[in-house]
Structure formats: structure tokens, C-alpha cells
Amino acid sequence: MSSTTDKLKGLANEAVGNVKQGVGKVTGNDHLVVEGKAQELKGEAQRTVGEVKDGVKSAADSLLGRK
């Protein structure tokens, strides 16, 4: 998966997770709140993977003299 794909999927999971948490809080559904938090954390991890891939590519390009 490309870094951009990782970051976009991560942002989407974070957004859906936040919505689930909000709905769970409003409806008193603790299970939905927990599920939303888990999805939000998954999204944060995906986004971080994308950012790390960008960093590694940038470092490799610098070492190899590419712009």
C-alpha cells in the first residue's frame, strides 16, 4: 500500500471511529463507544504507517542524492 493510501484509510477510520463514539455516547451504547475508540486508534496507526513510509522514502532519496 502506498503512503498516501495508508494516510487516507487512516483518516477515514479515525473519522468513522469518532462518529461511532459520538453516537454511542448520545445513545448510551458503551459497546459502540469502545468500538469507535478502537477504530479511531486503528486509523491513527494506519496514518502513522503512511507518515513513516514518507519519511523512509525521503531519507533514502537524500542518501541517494535524489530530490
What's the pLDDT at 43? Answer: 97
pLDDT value of position 58: 86
Dihedral in degrees, nearest 10, Cα atoms 14, 18, 23, 26 = 170
Q: What was the pLDDT predicted at 14? A: 98
Query: What local confidence, expressed as pLDDT, does residue 66 receive?
Result: 80
pLDDT of residue 30: 98
Q: What's the pTM?
A: 0.83
Residues of the chain predicted below pLDDT 50 = none
Amino acid residing at 50: G
pLDDT of residue 7: 95
